[in-house]
Structure 1
Amino acid sequence: MLAHVLPLLACPNCANPLEQGDSVLRCAGGHSFDIAKQGVVTLVRGKPAAGDTAEMVAARAAFLDAGHYAPIADALASLAGPGPVLDAGAGTGHYLAHLLECVDGVGLALDSSKPALRKAAKAHPAIGAVACDLWQPLPVRTGVAGVVLNVFAPRVPAELRRVLREDGVLLLVAPAADHLGELVSTLDLMAVEEGKQDKVDARMAEHFTVAKRLPVAFPMRLDHDAVRALVGMGPNAFHGDRSARVAGLPARVSVTASVTVTAYRPR
């Protein structure tokens, strides 16, 4: 609920604190933002980004709710400290909701996709959902988050550092080079570049130090529906229809998920 996360939020135009009225958030600078009936508020300066489509969100919800990526959620929970928890690129709120079952505090779901945030707002009673542009200054007060999540999502390291407490932790999930390797060539999916984690660390280095790193790799047995959801829930959805190729796969496919979960501490 937005009321739970209101102390974390700031006006995107002037950075003043926000107060809640009837179906609106307002700041002392005279800016106001309507709260949609689903409980989502848009806090952006200028035109909001479109984000993931409703079809992509439905695919992601189907895949994640089936538990295929449960080891990733468990790894995040094992590294988290007390909240509040801010999820930058929350999508449907799947990982945030899981974390809130394991740590104390409220959860703030930030994403550019309103279809995703409508699901995130219902994913856990302690979640408040805010539409924003992750490439711009976040509509969040400085130093309020105990945990920041960034799972397969865009990131601006300086902003993630700004909103994190001095004793907080940033938990970042990035794909390894062999992530979904069995499907990359078969379905012509986007491959993960070699040395990706080193490049992520280099971009984070000005603001964060690596505290702990967990390689998380696990096998999945996916039927055609699950493969279609996996392909359709991310950037591959924008790069052509792969229905015919999926139909040509065996009834169940062995696929390896391989990611790195890194806990960063602020400098």
Structure 2
Amino acid sequence: MRTLAAATMLLTRVPVPSSAGGVDPARAAALYPLVGAGIGGVVGGIAVGAGELWPVLVVATLAVAAEVILTGALHLDGLADCADGLAGRDREHRLQIMKDHAIGVYAAATLSLHLLVKVAALAALLHALRPEEMLLLLVGVYATSRGAMLPLARLLPYARTDGTGRAVVEGLGTRQLLTGLVLVLVGSAATVAVDPGAALLVTLVAALTTLSIGLLAQRRIGGVTGDVLGACAELTVSAMLLAAVAVLA
């Protein structure tokens, strides 16, 4: 339970016992998909429940807002930093920009479009799916998105000499990676229950998105950072939702 609490602490703003801070972050990372499934359950539960009161566009906006509050916008911050930083002139300049908390025009545009895509995709899926299907789909999508960070952390070097993601990237072993991937498969079973073909497509899209982010990060900064991992979690969600809309809506 302490390990799960530690993973929850690293990915959300949910209060957990202080003892969770003593757990090895790399060990806790293996449970990221489980925490992701919980996030998806909350987002899906709000979407389904609020659907009894408001139109789908309002409901989708509330669901995305709930996710932002639940996660403390942690991964949105990583996406913003990457959007600004990866456009820098060289590796050191890119890393310097990514460390700066200021929001540039690339970050602002990326965040705005990313959130719009999420809202639009959720609204389309709310139109097309039954409540229980919506809930299962989001559980699977969010479990997969949090698990998508693990291959990048395991296979690529840490691009900085220090930083919040270093303990995970340098400490994650094959055992933790395999545990996380098994949990991703378990979470994906929820998507299979909605539509096996859609489950296969969204999983493939998640893998391709993760691979693309990894290749870009390796080329631009020589590895990954906590920001890159956060951006991966966010972009895989949007990519999977778009794939789900393509075949289910």
> Could you say which TM-score interval applies, normalised by the shorter chain?
0.3 to 0.5
More strand by share: 1
Give TM-score, length-normalised by structure 1. Answer: 0.32
Indicate the structure (1 or 2) with the bigger Cα radius of gyration: 1
More helix as a share of residues: 2
